[in-house]
Amino acid sequence: MRSAPATTPAPVRREAREPPEARGLARDAVRMLVAGAGGLTHARARDLPEHLRTGDVLVVNTSATLPAALPATRDDGAVLRLHLSTPCGDLAGPRWVVELREGGARFAGGARAGERLDLPAGAHATLLAPYLTGARLWLAELDTHHTPLLQYLHRHGAPIRYGYVAREWPLRDYQTIFALHPGSAEMPSAGRPFTPELVTALVARGIAIAPITLHTGVSSQEAGEPPYPERFDVPAATARQIAAARAGGGRVIAVGTTVVRALETAAARGSDGAPAPAHGWTRHVVTPETGVRAVDGLLTGWHEPDATHLLMLEAVAGRNLVEESYREALRAGYRWHEFGDVHLILPRAR
């Protein structure tokens, strides 16, 4: 397996530094590059029904975003940001995988086992051990003084944001309309352009919408670092809906790389490439070598040139189409990241 995708970066790209609503656009008015056997087409997210067919099924992620960033202070007075990523067990439990950040650095160095970080309202976090193999993530134990963790986060936390977003935005700007189940450190952002009007137009055209849940951890992997384990659930009703769509000649279109990961995990546990009902933890990493069995297309955002997500796109679309799409998106000034534009990939005919 290659350690990095093949896409060649351009020297300049446009970052989405605020929600499109702050630029006077509706959520479903962001740009959408459609890539398929017929070439590349420029459109808007609200045009999605025109590029799908009756009988297709869109699979969406119902995970809701947590206000997972907390201010934290070290013994020497240094102020950090503590990013809660993934719980080690129950969502309300005290042990979490966390990331430490300071200033504009990618992550905060110098962490050590046993280090205690002071949090707002007298709470604290104790670092227990590095998580997996790197120095970026740590297993930590949180003490919120008997305040339930979700309540504590909503009082004192904020959505995780990175340097390209200059100011804080409220949590509602980091939720999709499908958000039902709290648990994601960062928004499953491919679903952000959906509005009630867009969903109505899709259903009116005979395009089904089916749910899965995958709770995302922090997305700031180092170059070439694969995704780590995440919690997911593919309900039996969704597995049946996908099977029915396939039997009728419909396509399965994943809304986001999180959905691809969940469906491909479920397909590996089923038969004939059909997702089976499944839940728990997934370590599955989709690459061109593993291929895809459950997904025929993908709606996604625009990812960093060294992101392992691009290997997943290559698995769905092939290397040439991904590279062609990224060259065109950079040429045409598409916007990157969670508040940016989207990419509809429809390479597989059924």
Residue 109, both tokens: 């160095």
pLDDT of 12: 59
- Map out the domains of the chain as residue ranges: 14-65+170-346, 69-156
Question: 251: number of CA atoms within 13 Å, CB side?
Answer: 19
pLDDT of 288: 92
300, 258 contact by CB (below 8 A): no
- Closest to 287 (Cα-Cα) out of 267, 266, 260, 269: 260
Same fold? 14-65+170-346, 69-156: no
Q: 14-65+170-346 has which fold?
A: QueA-like (3.40.1780)
What are the phi and psi torsion angles at 179 (to 5°)?
Answer: -65, 115
The CATH architecture annotation of domain 69-156 reads: Beta Barrel (2.40)
pLDDT of 1: 33
- Give the span between the Cα atoms of 42 and 39, in whole angstroms: 10
In order, the DSSP letters of 6-74 are: -PPPPS--EE--S-GGGGT--GGGSEEEEEETTEEEEEEGGGGGGGS-TT-EEEEE-EEEP--EEEEE-
Task: Report the SS3 class of residue 337.
Answer: coil
Residues 6+ apart with CB under 8 A from 206: 54, 55
In order, the DSSP letters of 74-134 are: -TTS-EEEEEEEEESSSTTSSEEEEEEE-TTSSS-----TT-EEE-GGG-EEEEEEE-TTS
Q: Write out the chain's pLDDT in tens, 350 residues.
A: 344 444 444 435 689 999 999 999 999 999 999 999 889 999 999 999 999 999 999 999 999 999 999 999 999 999 999 999 999 988 888 999 999 998 655 678 889 999 999 999 999 999 999 998 667 899 999 999 999 999 999 999 999 998 889 899 999 999 999 999 999 999 999 999 999 999 999 999 999 999 999 999 997 665 556 788 999 999 999 999 999 999 999 999 999 999 999 999 999 987 777 899 999 999 999 999 999 999 999 999 998 766 677 889 999 999 999 999 999 999 999 999 999 999 999 986 54
Task: Report the SS3 class of residue 172.
Answer: helix
pLDDT of 209: 98
pLDDT of 82: 96
pLDDT of 347: 86
Task: Note the pTM of the prediction, 2 decimals.
Answer: 0.92
